[in-house]
Amino acid sequence: MADATNDAPDDHLDDDVDDIDLSSLDDDDLVEQMHDDLYDGLADEIAEATQLLLDRGWDPQDVLSKALVEGMRIVGIDFRDGILFVPEVLLSANAMKAGMKLLRPLLAETGAEQIGKVVIGTVKGDIHDIGKNLVGMMLEGAGFEVIDIGINNDADAYLAALEEHRPDILGMSALLTTTMPYMKVVIEELGKRGLRDDYIVLVGGAPLNEEFGSAVGADAYCRDAAVAAETAEALVLARRAAA
C-alpha cells in the first residue's frame, strides 16, 4: 500500500505499479497484490488479477472472499479509523466493481451463497445519495447482495422492494434533519403490517446518532459505511445463529 508519508512524486509511484507483472506472481502474492491494488483504487489491475485467478482454476467464491472481500475489509478498517477518506474509498469500491463484473455471472451460475441481501435507499424528500452509494459498495465488498432503490423513497417504495427481494436487511439513509424523521414512518408501517420482525433495520446519515436510531426503532445506527458493513454482517450472523 502506498505510504502516505512518502515524499516521492505520484508519477514515480505509478511507474512502480506499472512495473509489476501480475501474471508472474504466484497465487499468494497475487492475492496480496490485489489487496494493495484495491487499497489504491486500481480498477484495471483488479480486473486483470481477477481474471488471472479464474484462469488458474480458482473458484469464483474464493476469488471473492479471499481477494476482493478481504481487500475491502482492510479498506474499511482504515476508513473507520480515519486513515482513508470518502474519495479514496470510492476509488477502492470502483476497483472492486471491476472484479465483481467478472465474478457476478460466475457466482450466479454456481449458486454461491452470499452473507445476505440488503435493500437500501434514501428516504422520502431526500435526494442525497453519496453516503448511501458508499454504504452499498462497502456492503457488496463485505459479501452482501445489495439492491439499491435510489433516492426519495416513501414507505410504499420500501415495502414494495422488501416484498420483491425478501432481503435480510433494510437500510435507510438521510442527510437532512427534515427528512430523517421519515425513517420512523417506515418502521412503524412495517409494524402495522406485522413485518417488523422479518427484517433487520439499519439507519445512517450525517444528522443521525445512536440515540435517534433507538428512538425510531431501528436495530442499529451506523455512523459510516465501514461500520455499516461490520454491523450488517454481525447482525445477520447473530440472527441465523439464534434461529
Counting residues of the chain whose pLDDT is more than 90, the rounded percentage is: 67
What range defines the domain where residue 57 resides? 11-110
Burial class (CB in 10 A: 0-12, 13-18, 19+), 25: middle
> In the chain, how many domains are there?
2
Cell, residue 154:
416513501
Residues 69 and 132 in one domain: no
Q: What is the CATH number of the domain that holds 24?
A: 1.10.1240.10
Residues 64 and 123 in one domain: no
Contact 20, 33 (CB under 8 A): yes
Q: Is residue 2 in a domain?
A: no
Cell, residue 7:
515524499
Determine if the pTM surpasses 0.75: no
Supply the pLDDT for residue 183: 98
Q: What is the CATH number of the domain that holds 162?
A: 3.40.50.280
Residues 37 and 139 in one domain: no
Confidence of residue 142 (pLDDT cuts 50, 70, 90): confident
CB atoms within 10 A of CB 129: 17
Side chain identity at residue 41, one-letter code? G
The H or E element containing residue 107 is helix 86-110
Nearest to 183 by CA among 132, 147, 146: 132
The CA R_g of the chain, rounded to the nearest whole Å, is 19
Alpha carbon separation from 12 to 15, 19, 34, 53, 83 (Å, rounded)? 5, 11, 20, 28, 22
In this prediction, residues 38-47 reach a mean pLDDT of 97
Residues 101 and 131 in one domain: no
Residues 212 and 184 in one domain: yes
Residues 106 and 211 in one domain: no
> Could you tell me which residues are beta bridge partners of residue 171?
120, 202
- 37-65 in b/e form (b: 16+ CB < 10 A) is bbbbbbbebbbbbbebbbeeebebbebbe
Residues 101 and 129 in one domain: no
Phi-psi region of 93 (alpha: psi -120 to 50; beta: other; left: phi over 0): alpha
107/197 Cα distance (integer angstroms): 30
In this prediction, residues 200-205 reach a mean pLDDT of 97
Q: Is residue 1 in a domain?
A: no
Residues 41 and 122 in one domain: no
pLDDT digits (tens, 9 = 90+) for 218-230: 999 999 888 999 9
In this prediction, residues 202-221 reach a mean pLDDT of 97
Cell, residue 209:
446518532
Burial class (CB in 10 A: 0-12, 13-18, 19+), 185: middle
Residues 66 and 152 in one domain: no
35/24 Cα distance (integer angstroms): 17
